[in-house]
Amino acid sequence: MNNVMLDVREITTKYITRFKEDVYAVDHVSLKVEEGKSLGIAGESGCGKSTLALSLMGYYFAPLHYTSGEIIIDGRKITGMDPDDIRKSILGTEIAYIPQGAMNSLNPTQKVIHFVEDVFQAHDPYKTKKEIYEFAREAFETLGLPAEVLQKYPVELSGGMKQRTVIAVSVLLFPKVLIADEPSSALDVTSQKMVIKMLKNLMENGFIKSMIFITHELPLLFNVTDDIMVMYAGQIVEKANAKEAVFDPLHPYSKGLMGSIIVPESGLREVKLAAIPGVPPNLKNPPCGCRFAERCRYALPECPAIAPGIREIEGSRAYRCILSEKELREVYIKETLIREACQNAG
């Protein structure tokens, strides 16, 4: 077994709104990322994906608050540490985070090199500017970015270039875990591909040791990550490797998500897109039973009352449903048969 880079045990975090209500946006989430592996997190908007990313850094600021659970990065427990220590010795060097719309975080009045100098000097005040420049230039070239970028202002760069610059800067201190939150959602397909290629490069060139990738685009996750975790209403509903998660999903929610995939391949036009009706529940007062019950097509009468635990099955898969794997598969097969019969009849 490989080295576990990031080990998260039952982490729970909450938002406290200005009306003093608790919103548990991440609820008992456990995950493990091994060295050299990448984990994808999928789910609708408002399912807690981005909050999970924020929670994993161990550095909390209002309105996000830590409640319980442990985060262990490469054998070092970071929950319970002093926030100042975390900022100095964890962020950037152990764990790096690329937020949504990262390209807007470049300061428009400064050249990119100033941003790089800031990053280095926060961690090592004795490094000279020349050393930093040489180091950054080399790193940029390894990652396929022209070194001139360093001497430019952000307005001179295109959207895709800005995004790649931010990613490159965020890994200059060789973090062990990189969390990328929708790094390509604002870009067009060609820039997106360049960003993805760069993220893959990072892993191969040893800039990072493991990656967590968050997006709602399933075809992208399938191509980028080794494992996929599906989140719904702050909880994990399914964990599987990428292939199984896309082609053989077990949880009804994952099944619904896979029904909304659009790719330019032959046969797409015959497929009817199946959207999941309704919206995710309000987490201020989450349903007491299964959180997906009211939108689930296969819900049983007892579903809204019983909160199912996570079931581990063979092949390191896991899902959260009261039905067993065999029962779920039977339900799906029955549904396919009925649909085919309808098609033949009508």
Sign of the four-CA dihedral 324, 329, 334, 335: positive
- Listed residue (95, 68, 78, 81) closest to 13, CA to CA: 68
Of the pair 73, 195, the CB lying nearest another protein is at 195
Q: Does 44 contact another protein by CB under 8 A?
A: yes
Q: Which residues lie closer than 8 Å to 28 by C-beta, 6 or more apart?
A: 10, 11, 12, 69, 235
Would you say 60 and 52 are in contact if contact means Cβ atoms under 8 Å apart? no
CA distance 268 to 196: 24
Q: How many C-beta atoms lie closer than 10 Å to residue 132's C-beta?
A: 20
Only one of the segments 22-30, 41-49, 124-132, 320-328 lies at the binding site for another protein (rule: CB under 8 A); that segment is 41-49
Q: How far is the CB of 164 from another protein (least distance, A)?
A: 11
- The nearer residue to another protein, 117 or 182, going by C-beta atoms, is 182
Q: Does 114 bind another protein (CB under 8 A)?
A: no
The residue (of 50 and 55) whose beta carbon lies closer to another protein is 50
268 binds another protein (CB under 8 A): yes
Shortest distance (Å) from residue 45 CB to another protein: 5
Cβ atoms < 10 Å from Cβ of 86? 19
Considering only residues 75, 125, 277, 346, which one is a binding residue for another protein as defined by CB under 8 A? 277
Smallest distance from the beta carbon of 86 to another protein, in angstroms?
31
Q: How far apart are CA 13 and CA 26, in angstroms?
A: 5
By CB under 8 A, tell whether 344 contacts another protein: no
Q: Which of residues 157-196 bind another protein (CB under 8 A)?
A: 159, 188-194, 196
Closest CB 47 distance from another protein, rounded Å: 9
Asked whether the beta carbons of 14 and 65 are under 8 A apart, the reply is yes
Both tokens assigned to 50: 């981005």
Task: Establish if 203 lies at the interface with another protein (CB under 8 A).
Answer: no
CB 180 within 8 A of CB 203: no
| Rounded Cα–Cα distance for residues 254 and 319 (Å) | 10
Residue 263 Cβ vs another protein, minimum distance, rounded to whole Å: 5
* Choice between 236 and 322, CB closer to another protein: 236
- Terminal alpha carbon distance of the chain: 53
Residue 346 interacts with another protein (CB under 8 A): yes or no: no
Name which position in 112, 228, 276, 318 contacts another protein (CB under 8 A). Answer: 276
Q: Which residues bind another protein (CB under 8 A)?
A: 44-46, 159, 188-194, 196-197, 200, 216-220, 222-224, 246-247, 256-257, 259-266, 268-269, 273-277, 279
